[in-house]
């Protein structure tokens, strides 16, 4: 059985998503509107990051319940600074890492999942495509959030037999490989 892509919920979309924060000196209250006020650290309000994270996840998985974003209230602006955020997808807390980029011009947010997000129905569909006569059960949850290297069991059964296939999470993009093919 080849490695399967277990439908990372929005990983490609969210990883590529960037939000533009205030910071262009355009009077929006962003960090570079007052270049002479350098005695206090420049900060961004992360509500825009939270909104971008939820909107991107909802576009990628409109069938799932996405809500409750949480990021630090204010983050000091510095090129490459990374901070954690979370959202709830189907009631499961999903961690993300947000990295600031282009802070000298207009702040961008590079958003990346911190763990693999697996949509179990997609994994079951991929298994069913490979073994059309089997019933597939990967558990009652709609999604699982797992560390790279973690394992997940799916049960394949038909009239004659039943067996468990264990998958290992290969990366945060949701790629998995069978441990016991």
Decide: 149 and 179 in contact? Cβ < 8 Å. no
Copy the structure tokens of residue 61: 């998985």
pLDDT of residue 34: 42
- Residue appearing with tokens 């955020």: 85
Least confident of 15-19, 61-65, 106-110, 141-145: 15-19
CA–CA dist 127, 133 (Å, integer) = 10
Q: How far apart are CA 169 and CA 53, in angstroms?
A: 23
At 145-175, the pLDDT tens digits run: 999 999 999 999 988 889 999 999 999 988 9
Q: Of 74, 61, 66, nearest to 11 (Cα)? A: 61
Q: 34-78: per-residue pLDDT in tens?
A: 444 455 668 888 999 999 999 988 998 899 999 999 999 989 888
DSSP state of 6: -
């Amino acid at each position: 059985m080849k490695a399967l892509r277990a439908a990372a919920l929005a990983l490609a979309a969210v990883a590529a998503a960037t939000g533009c924060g205030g910071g262009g000196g355009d009077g929006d209250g962003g960090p570079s509107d007052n270049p002479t006020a350098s005695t206090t650290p420049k900060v961004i309000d992360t509500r825009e990051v939270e909104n971008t994270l939820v909107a991107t996840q909802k576009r990628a998985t409109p069938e799932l319940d996405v809500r409750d974003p949480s990021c630090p209230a204010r983050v000091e602006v510095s090129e490459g600074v990374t901070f954690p955020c979370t959202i709830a997808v189907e009631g499961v807390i999903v961690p993300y890492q947000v990295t600031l980029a282009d802070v000298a011009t207009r702040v961008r947010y590079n958003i990346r999942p911190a763990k693999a997000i697996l949509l179990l129905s997609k994994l079951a569909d991929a298994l069913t495509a490979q073994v059309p006569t089997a019933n597939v059960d990967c558990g009652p949850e709609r999604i699982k959030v797992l560390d790279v290297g973690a394992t997940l069991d799916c049960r394949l059964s038909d009239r004659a037999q039943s067996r468990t296939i264990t998958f290992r999470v290969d990366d945060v993009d949701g790629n998995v490989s069978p441990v016991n093919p």
